[in-house]
Structures are given as C-alpha cells and as structure tokens.
Amino acid sequence: MSSRDSIFADLRKSLGRTESLGADKVAELQQRSDVAREDERPQVSGDLIERFVVKLTAGAGTVTRVRDASEVPRAVEQYLEEHQLPPKMVAASNGLVGSIRWPDGFQVEHRPASRDDRVSVTGAIAAVAETGTIVVSSDNESPTTLNFLPDDHIAVIETGQLRTHLEDVWSALREADEMPRAVNFISGPSKTADVEQTLALGAHGPRRLHVIMVG
Amino acid sequence: MKAVDKPASTENPSPSVGLFVTCLVDLFRPNVGFAALDLLEQAGARVDVPQAQVCCGQPAFNTGDEKGTKAIAQGVIAAFEHFDYVVAPSGSCAGMIREHYPVLFAQDPKWSGRAEAVADKTWELISFLNDVMGVDDISASLDGNYTYHDSCSGLRELGISHQPRNLLSAVRGLSCSEMKDSNVCCGFGGTFCVKYPDISERMVNDKIRNAVDSGADYLLGGDMGCLMNIAGKLSRDKVDLQVYHVAEVLADRTDVSPIAGRTPEQRTRSEDS
Amino acid sequence: MQPVSREFKIHSSKALLDEKLSAALARTQDGFGGQRAAAVEALPEFQKIRERALRIKNHTLEHLDYYLEKFEREVQAAGGHVHWARTPEEGRKIILDLCEQAEARTVIKGKSMVSEEMALNPALEASDIEVVETDLGEYIIQLAKEPPSHIIAPAIHKTREQITELFSENHAQYGLTEPVTEVADIVHEARTVLREKFINADVGITGANFLVAESGSTVLVTNEGNGDLSSTLPKMHIITAGLEKVVPTFDDLSTMLRLLARSATGQEFSVYTSVFTGPKRNTDQDGPEELHIVLLDNGRTEMLGNEFREMLRCIRCGSCLNHCPVYGSVGGHAYGWVYSGPMGSVLTPLMVGLGEAADLPNACTLNGRCEEVCPMSIPLPRMLRALRVRQFEEKLVGSRVRASLGAWTWLATKPRLYQAVTGLGMKMLARLGRKNGSIRSLPLAGGWTQARDLPAPEGETFMQAWARQNRNRGARQ
C-alpha cells in the first residue's frame, strides 16, 4: 500500500468510516458556503480610505494621495527626491502603472527585479481597508520579485480598488479563470523582531513600502 | 468556564448547605473551615459538615489514576447529594466536583446522573456568598492593604475574580492594592510543586516579588494549596507579608497567626527581645 | 532533531540558573503577552471570530479525508505535486529525492516546524547540500547549531551580545571585519549575506500556515519576506506541512488569519500573507518551475481518532508558550524536542513516544492559562491530564508514586480511619512547628521543603474541632 493510501485508510479509520464520503455528503460539502457574518469580522466603519491609511501607516508603510493618474509620476519623483534615490526603476507593465508616461530622464525597465534594483513600482489587484493591506498578484506583466527584492517598493492603487474585508478580495479572485501563482498580501515594509524583540525594518524584503493612492 | 447561573433558590432564604471542608483546611487551617461556617450561617444557610468526607480526589485525578479518583468521588457524591448546595472554601476542590466529576462519570450510567446533580449544586464559598446568597453585608474589619492572588482553578474553571474583591471591599479599614500578574499561577499545582521543586520555586518567587511590589500588608487568596505554597516560601525567605484565606478576613477571624508572615504585634515582640 | 526530552529535569534545572535566559524569557512573555492582550482588547469581535474558527476547524477535521483529496486534486490541476509522508523518515526521503532531481547544491529555507519534525537539515547536509535558514531567528540558531526555543521566535533565548559574537565568528568568510552590535546592523548584515544565498539557491523549502482545499493553494505568513524570496527565486519550491493544516475555503482562511497574528505577536495582520497556487505559469517571468507539497502525518491521523483530535486545531501561533509560567521559567530547549510549552508537552509525547517524554505532561500546574489564550480553544490541560492517565495505565508512573497515591486513595475512602490517623499526625506536626510557626524540613517531604517551609498546622484538625464543638453545641441547644 502506498503511503498515500495508508494515510487515507488511517484517516477514515479515525473518522469511523471505511470508505470515502457518499455522493450526497460530497454534494453537500461542495455546496458549503460559510462566510463570516458581519459580527464575525472586525467592524470597519467610517471612511474606507482613512481606515486603510491608518492601518497601513501603523505598519510603517507610507501613503501619498493624488487626484488622478497624471499626478503619479510627480508623486514618484517626489518620493525619490525625498529619499535621495536616482530615477531608475524596475516596474510592472500592467494596468495603470503600465500606462504611465514617465518624465524624461527616468529609466524605467519592465522585467523581474534583480539584486541590484533599488526601486520598484507595481500596481495592485486590490487593497483591504480592514488590515491596511495591498494585494499584488503575479502575472506576466507583474513579476513577484518586484514586490520583494528592491529596497523601495512603490505601489500605485486606485481608491476604487479598496475593499472592506479580506472576504471581498477572495470573491474578486474567484471570478478570474484561475488563481495566479502568487497573491501577495502586503501590509508594510519587511520587519523582524528576532533580535531581543526589538523591531527592525528591511529584514529581507523592502525596507520601505510607499503607496500612491489615486482618486 | 461555566457561566455563573443565577441562584436556583433565592426563594429559599435558608437552603441546606453541606460544607466540604477540603483536606488542607481540615488538616492545616481549621480556622478557614470555621470562617466558612460563620459566613454561611450569617448568610442564612443551614450548614452541616458530613463526617464522611476527606478529599475531592484531585491528587489521584491529576496523577492519571482514574480508578482511584472515581472511588474517592463516589464517596463525596454519596456524602453530599442530599444537600441543596455543596460549598467548599477552595476553587480547585469546588472546580473538581463541578467541572470534572461529570466528565469522569460520563460513561457510567449508574453514576453520571448523580455526579451531574452534585456538580450542579457545588459552589466555591466566596462565589456562593456573592452570587447565590447575594451577601453584601460584611461585619469584619482589618487595617491595611491587601493584594489578591487569583488561584487558577477558581479563576478559570469557575470564573472567580470579582467576587472576593467585591466582598473584601466591605471590610472596614481594608483597601486593595493589586499586584502584577495576579492571575498567573503561583507554582503550586498539587504534586507539581514536589515533582518539579525548582521550577515551582521560580514561579513562587515571581509571585512573591509581585506581591511585595504591590506594597500590600496582606496577601489573600481562596485556595489553601496556593496559600501554603506562597506562605511556605515567604516563611523560608523571612518576608513579612501576612497570608490569610479570604474567608478568614471576611469572617473577622484574623485574630490567629497568619498562615505566614508575622502580625505587627509579633514583629514588635521579636524586635523587643 | 533527536528528542532529548528524557532529560527535561536536567535541562530545566540548568535553564533556571541561566540569568540571561530568564531575562529573555521575561521580555518575550511580557512583550508578546502584552501585545496580544492589547490586540484582543482592540477587537470586540474577537470572541465571535474565535468561535467561528472553532466551528471551521471542527468541520474540517470531521471531513479531513474529503478536504485533503480536494486539496490534492486542485494542486495537481494547478500543475503542482502532492507527496504523502507517513513518518519523518519518509518526508526526508521525498525531499532528498526531489533535491537530487533538481541537482541541488544549495537549499534556502523559510521557517518550517514540520521540517524540524523531519530533522531535515542534517539529512540534507549529509548529502552535501548546503542548507541556509533565512528567517533571521532561524538563521541565528543555525549559526549557533541549536534547535529553536520558540515556535515563532526561535532565537529569543539569544542576547544581542551572543548574536554579535556568532556573526563575528561566522561572517568573517563573507568579509565581515567589525563586530555588528546594533540590531539594525545585525539585520543588515544578515540581509546582505542571505541575499546572495537566495539568488544562488537551487531549491527553496518553506512551511505553510494553511492549505486551502478550494484552490489547492498554500498560505505562508511572515514578517520578513524571507518565505517569499525562498518560494520565488529558486527553480524548485518545496512546501512542508502537517496534513491538519487544510481549511476548506478562502473565506475560512480569513477567519484563521484574523486570529493568527493577533495571538502570536499581537499584530493585527502580519506583513506578508502569501498565497501560492501551482508553479510558474508559462507566461510568468519569475517563480519556481516546480512546486512540490510534502504532507506529513507523523501521528496526526491517529490523533484524529482519539482524545487528542482537538490538538489538530493548533495553528502554531505560540500563544500558549507566551502565557505558560513553566515555559516562562525554563524556556523552550528544556522540552527537548521541536515543540515546547503546553502545545509541545502534548505533541511531543504523541509524536516521539510517551516513554521518551514522560516529564512533559507532568511539568505543568494545570493552571489553564494556555487554554484561555488559545485562539483555537484547545483544551490543553485536559489533554495533558489525558496523557497522565495513559502514563498511569501503561505503568509509566514510578512505583513509589503509585504506592503513596494508592495509600492515600485507600485512606481517603475510609473517612473514620483517615480522621483518626490525620488527627494524630497533625498533632505531631503542630508540635514540630510550634516554635517558628513553620517547619523547615520534614522526612519524605523534601520536594516541598527544598524551597519552602511547611506552614505548621493548628494542631487539632477541623473535623476533630467540629466534632468537639458540635457536642458542645448539642449540649447548649
């Protein structure tokens, strides 16, 4: 008997059965939809944007708000100036980020990040007000390394992408044909407290997470 | 933790109560037993102390001896089932009867009903006074500050926390000075403290440090096991913090020597000599 | 690692003498404990969420075969592979074979307690594969050649000075010349060296906090982002997990995530929650070519069928460790295996054998604080007691303890005899303690009097006094 079969035999024995579940039961489990009620989720009241900003900044992320997409390059420029970074970036090529017209003098490459990239710019598929989280998923135009290798990760999101609870993100993901390889929920820069419980930023992932919120 | 049900029989102003003395009170601190008697009678209960009582079975239970536990538990059930209530001046003994007896006999058709019936009417003394009898009139006095150690079984099995503090607030001259981590174990744990004496010692040291730091004159609690553990360590370290069972204070029976620590008079006397 | 839980008493006594350890443990428990309390306080729905999580896990366990089959089908549909390991040995073999297939010379690892169960690192090293732990805490203890002392903060027992020294010893080969003393510098040094390892590794091995049956996804929660680099950069990603980690749907996952970080570190949400489904797609520009999930049984299927099923609800948050006064006194290494604290005292005997870990279920005061803070409401004290019952039944309890307990039980079921005997005994004890109010040493009570005095009894037992007064009362009435 293979290990797999032996494990399943043991599972069923422990569950007091000899066979896998009957068709009726399977049909019932397939239909199971058990979503948390309102009182079983953290209450998110008031302005979603405000909540998102409060939660993200509590996790050491930073946020700039701009009126429309045309202001994004300027916001990026300001961020780079503030941190004395050269205008050299590796960026996703999808969505709003893909359509940005970068100012002259900006070197923007669309490819996965490598070890020497300092700054990345990505979009997001959603953001969650409940937790102050941006959600970035992998696809051919948004490689996952952009979210993790550079020191500075700039994410551009639109206010319309803001969701209330985690559940709202799953329902959006289910509508797509298939799950992306990686869906990253990111709530701030990389952190560790492994040395004497003292918090330090930039453990392995980005040292800074900056969100530019459009709209 | 079981929710504290509201009294089944406040309509009956003088229910019959079987006092489960508990072995440590019986052997080491009868004063607590008499304090319990006083308090129950003052509250209007008709109290009796069945002769056929010894131990609730915790030593056997916590050592994994289910057969021995059952033998002891059956004796307790038989001795106490005819009372309206069973009351013990100990959260861990009351918790044993109330929470664990029903589980112990769950598969035993002959005893499960009886175990549950006794469990349902078993109370720890202070919560019985506060929650069932609605006592609010305490005619006791003691000068100074107390800090309260929340014994684990009483706190987590029976939800005892505000009741002793509530009743103690009515004691004249006494005020409360909470310690850090009052709800953390003192290191007694029944046989634990003799099986792992050095770990137990660390835990009781932490407890004593917190108690002393509270600046209190008295350390009070509702379980003799914890109190003897803390008192024994205070005595060994010659720390003057007076330890009493909460019932002794509420019943105004603090004219005896504390379980540990010296009364101010004792201190003065030893300084004089 | 080989369990050394038999030596619990030796190791715990040693730990108690280690002042640095005591300070580190106090800092950890105060820190995590206080932050958890604040996080729970800030979430009025916490209790409701906890009840919901309990229902979800119970439902999943009741249909575990179904959800695991579903999970496996979905993984395969997404192009991944599922491997089943009954024992740690099988798990090691599967992973070694995969590494060989990938011609791996360097493996980077995210924190995985299941790989610790498998004692994976020594096995890989024995096959000449360089293994690098990347969670900072795990990396530190790897340098120190020690096992983790806490399931979520593996190096909490190390002081900054000790870490500085470890880096000086081990990083000279990477060009480190000056000691790194500040926390930020330590973190930067580790980041710089490990970055190279990430980039050059052939295989990444991580754990999984949850498996989602609905989509065949694995979920990894970290703060450092090391798990994401481990799972994205190498060409093969191997995920190790206990087979109890499955939840039916993403909606169920949401509930679990709301409890995990709050219970663990007191964070509302960890920095990175990553959901992996299958390997790199054809059009993807990065990600692993192959994805393998190794699910370990190691006693779990048996637990499903006995009084320890509820232990399978554990989400490894570490809250019970953070609130256990015994763990807080002796630290994780004393427990002698992978898991420590209350959850470790239940799991270790079930996974390595009760005879190997006889002290663990007993080194507990049954104070119940662990159950109180467990987000999955696992009745840990009840389980520790159930292990004691097994020990008693299997005669793993020493003959002296059995004999004295037997004598007590015998006497305790004969109230009249008991009262006569104890009446005499207490009179004698009272005489011993009359002078000081307490007794400093007593034959057969060394465990008690080693650290404390025995408060002297009053002399007359309550039952004697009651009988006497009752006679008087009767005379009065």
Amino acid letter for position C67: Y
Q: Is the CB of residue A31 less than 8 Å away from at least one CB of chain C?
A: no
Mean pLDDT of B127-144: 95
- Nearest residue to C165 via CA among C362, C20, C321, C318: C20
**Domain check: are A72 and A135 in the same one?**
yes
**Domain check: are A87 and A176 in the same one?**
yes
Asked if B74 and B52 count as a contact pair (C-beta separation under 8 A), the reply is no
**Domain check: are A142 and A65 in the same one?**
yes
Phi-psi category of residue C377: left, alpha or beta, with phi > 0 → left and psi -120 to 50 → alpha:
left
**Domain check: are A21 and A91 in the same one?**
no
Taken in order of first residue, the domains within chain B and their CATH numbers are: 16-131 (no CATH), 137-272 (3.40.50.11810)
Q: Residue B3 — pLDDT band, cuts 50, 70, 90?
A: very low
Task: Test B49 with C466 for CB contact under 8 angstroms.
Answer: yes
Residues 6+ apart with CB under 8 A from C401: B63
- Nearest residue to C134 via CA among C210, C190, C202: C190
Asked if ipTM goes beyond 0.95, one says yes
Residues 6+ apart with CB under 8 A from C239: C205, C206, C207, C208, C218, C231, C276, C291, C292, C293, C294
Task: Test B62 with C440 for CB contact under 8 angstroms.
Answer: no
Amino acid letter for position A176: A
End-to-end Cα spacing for chain B: 51
In the DSSP assignment, the letter for residue B123 is: E
- Whether residue A1 lies inside any domain: the answer is yes
Domain boundaries, position A24: 1-32
- How do residues B209-243 score in pLDDT, each as one tens digit? 999 999 999 999 999 999 999 999 999 999 989 99
Q: Residue C398 — pLDDT band, cuts 50, 70, 90?
A: confident
In the DSSP assignment, the letter for residue B100 is: I
**Domain check: are A51 and A23 in the same one?**
no
List A residues 112-151 in contact with C (Cβ-Cβ < 8 A). Answer: 112, 115, 131-133, 138-140, 143-145, 147-149
Domain count, chain A: 2
Q: What does the pLDDT read at residue C405?
A: 87
Taken in order of first residue, the domains within chain C and their CATH numbers are: 43-302 (3.40.50.10420), 410-476 (no CATH)
- Whether residue A206 lies inside any domain: the answer is yes
- How do residues C255-308 score in pLDDT, each as one tens digit? 999 999 999 999 999 999 999 999 999 999 999 999 999 999 999 999 999 999
Which of A144, A147, A153 has the most C C-beta neighbours within 10 Å, making it the best mutation to test the interface with C?
A: A144
Of C397, C437, C457, the CB nearest to B64: C397
Confidence check: pLDDT of B144 > 50: yes
Q: What is the mean pLDDT of chain C?
A: 95
Asked if C455 and B260 count as a contact pair (C-beta separation under 8 A), the reply is yes
**Domain check: are A10 and A78 in the same one?**
no
Task: Test A140 with C134 for CB contact under 8 angstroms.
Answer: no
Task: Test A181 with C284 for CB contact under 8 angstroms.
Answer: yes
Q: What does the pLDDT read at residue C348?
A: 98
Task: Test B156 with C362 for CB contact under 8 angstroms.
Answer: no
Confidence check: pLDDT of C445 > 50: yes
Q: Residue B11 — pLDDT band, cuts 50, 70, 90?
A: low
Mean pLDDT of C146-171: 95
- How do residues A35-57 score in pLDDT, each as one tens digit? 999 999 999 989 999 999 999 99
Name B245's bridge partners.
B221
Q: What is the full DSSP assignment across C356-409?
A: GGTTTTTS-----HHHHH-TT---HHHHHHHHHHHHHHTT-S-HHHHHHHHHHH
* φ, ψ at C283 (rounded to 5°): -85, -15
Q: Is the CB of residue C373 less than 8 Å away from at least one CB of chain B?
A: no
CA angle A28, A33, A34 (to 5 degrees): 120
Confidence check: pLDDT of C185 > 70: yes
Q: Is the CB of residue A27 less than 8 Å away from at least one CB of chain C?
A: no
Mean pLDDT of C432-440: 81
Q: What is the mean pLDDT of chain B?
A: 92
**Domain check: are A27 and A55 in the same one?**
no
Rounded CA gap, C236 and C80, in Å?
11
User: Taking the model in full, what pTM does it have?
Assistant: 0.95
Q: What does the pLDDT read at residue A177?
A: 83
In the DSSP assignment, the letter for residue A37 is: P
Q: Do chains B and C touch (3 or more CB pairs under 8 A)?
A: yes
Q: What does the pLDDT read at residue C24?
A: 94
Mean pLDDT of B136-147: 95
- How do residues B64-102 score in pLDDT, each as one tens digit? 999 999 999 999 999 999 999 999 999 999 999 999 999
The rounded percent of chain C whose pLDDT value lies above 70 is 99
CATH number at residue A111: 3.40.50.10420
Mean pLDDT of A128-140: 97
Q: Is the CB of residue A19 less than 8 Å away from at least one CB of chain C?
A: no
Q: Residue B1 — pLDDT band, cuts 50, 70, 90?
A: very low
- Whether residue A37 lies inside any domain: the answer is no
- Whether residue A38 lies inside any domain: the answer is no
- How do residues A92-107 score in pLDDT, each as one tens digit? 999 999 999 999 999 9
Under 8 Å CB pairs connecting chains A and C tally to: 269
Mean pLDDT of A27-40: 92
Task: Test C140 with A55 for CB contact under 8 angstroms.
Answer: no
**Domain check: are A136 and A161 in the same one?**
yes
**Domain check: are A12 and A101 in the same one?**
no
- How do residues C88-118 score in pLDDT, each as one tens digit? 999 999 999 999 999 999 999 999 999 999 9
Q: What does the pLDDT read at residue B263?
A: 66
